[in-house]
Amino acid sequence: MNKLILIVVIIFSLAIAATYYPWQQIEEIEPVSESESVTEDDEFLKIPGELEKPAIKYPVPETSSKSKDKDRVEKGSEPVQAPEGIQISLGPLPKLDGSDREISREINGLIEDEALTGLFSFKSFITHFVVTVDNMTNRKLPQRYVFMQRVPDKFAVIKQEFDTASLDSKNFKRYSAYVNLLDVVDSRKLVTVYVRFYPLFQEAYEALGYPDRYFNDRLIQVIDHLLVAPEIEGPISLVRPKVFYQFADPELEALSAGQKILLRIGYGNALRVKSKLKELRSILTKLSIQ
């Protein structure tokens, strides 16, 4: 499975869209059923209606209509102008279930290389992106919500004796196109698209069962989670108890799906992804309600 992550991955938001996400489809991960696709972290479970709505930590500027969340902005956070380079469009938005054509045009406009634009799958893109991001902290990612094309070639390992193996460095090249996507997309322009369509991202997030939660806050939480993923330069040992490979180290095997993705893509690729995520985080945490 697979790029906030590219975004996380590729993440991301769109890099995480363009970013985090291509790697939600790595073959060696067992598929998760739709019923398992809800986040397992108690911190993000739906809060009873009688409780006070959590304050919004990282508000996104309005783009279409008066925000219903202004009164939830965390106390002490001064409204400021959007960071330089972030242009806020106030035009009408399409409906969520009819947004694929418009957002695909916006994202493809950021990428000159047609080979890279072909990495995306724009069927129910916003919903699939939101579901993937929300599940990055879980043990598995729901395969039916992919928004990037399948990683090419087979999962590569170096087989050893006694049913053990290690990740083959050849495997890391499978992700080259997805990681290269990070380098060609301007982060501020990417966030501009995200801000423009943010009401639809929020709508998709609420539809998952979080009417009192704010998607941009969740996105930042997931980015932070990915940034603390272990960084391993040397060989990573694997075992194959059944059909699928697992990390031989129990601590690595216990990591979330998102953090495991950063291990599978290789040390060098992971550093590039993390660098992009840090850049996106810096921008996404400095947006504001206008």
Task: Specify the amino acid at residue 260.
Answer: K
Tally of domains in the chain? 1
Report the distance separating Cα 110 and Cα 112, nearest Å.
7
Is the model's pLDDT at 17 over the cut of 70?
A: no
Residue 95 covered by a domain: yes
For residue 28, what pLDDT is reported?
40
- Whether the CB-CB separation of 225 and 256 falls below 8 Å is answered with yes
pLDDT digits 0-9 by tens, 92-138: 899 999 999 998 888 888 887 766 666 777 788 999 999 999 999 99
pLDDT digits 0-9 by tens, 64-95: 543 455 555 554 444 434 555 555 555 789 99
For residue 145, what pLDDT is reported?
66
pTM of the model: 0.76
- Whether the CB-CB separation of 11 and 277 falls below 8 Å is answered with yes
Confidence of residue 10 (pLDDT cuts 50, 70, 90): very low
For residue 238, what pLDDT is reported?
93
Residue 2 covered by a domain: no
* Residue 152 CB partners (closer than 8 Å, separation 6+): 174
For residue 84, what pLDDT is reported?
58
Nearest alpha-carbon partner for 4 in 182, 176, 171, 149: 182
Is the model's pLDDT at 211 over the cut of 80?
A: yes
To which residue do tokens 């009819």 refer?
98
Residue 3 covered by a domain: no
pLDDT mean over 175-197: 88
- Whether the CB-CB separation of 263 and 252 falls below 8 Å is answered with yes
Q: Which residue has the higher pLDDT, 30 or 129?
A: 129
Is the model's pLDDT at 8 over the cut of 80?
A: no
Mean pLDDT of the chain: 76
Residue 103 covered by a domain: yes
Confidence of residue 200 (pLDDT cuts 50, 70, 90): very high
Residue 137 covered by a domain: yes
Residue 52 covered by a domain: yes
Residue 25 covered by a domain: yes
Report the distance separating Cα 109 and Cα 189, nearest Å.
10
Residue 290 covered by a domain: no
Most confident of 146-150, 173-177, 238-242: 238-242
Is the model's pLDDT at 205 over the cut of 60?
A: yes
For residue 66, what pLDDT is reported?
38
For residue 103, what pLDDT is reported?
87
The full 3-state SS of the chain, as one line of letters, equals CCCCCCCCCCCCHHHHEECCCHHHHCCCCCCCCHHHCCCCCHHHCCCCCCCCCCCECCCCCCCCCCCCCHHHECCCCCCCCCCCCCCCCCCCCCCHHHCHHHHHHHHHCCCCCHHHHCCECCCCHHHHHHHHHHHCCCCCCCHHHCCECCCCCCCCEEECCCCEEEECHHHHHHHHHHHHHHHHCCHHHHHHHHHHCHHHHHHHHHHCCCCCCCHHHHHHHHHHHHHCCCCCCCCCEEECCCCCCEECCHHHHCCCHHHHHHHHCCHHHHHHHHHHHHHHHHHHCCCCCC
End-to-end CA distance of the chain: 38
Residue 271 belongs to what domain range?
13-284
CA dihedral 61, 54, 19, 22 (to 10 degrees): -140
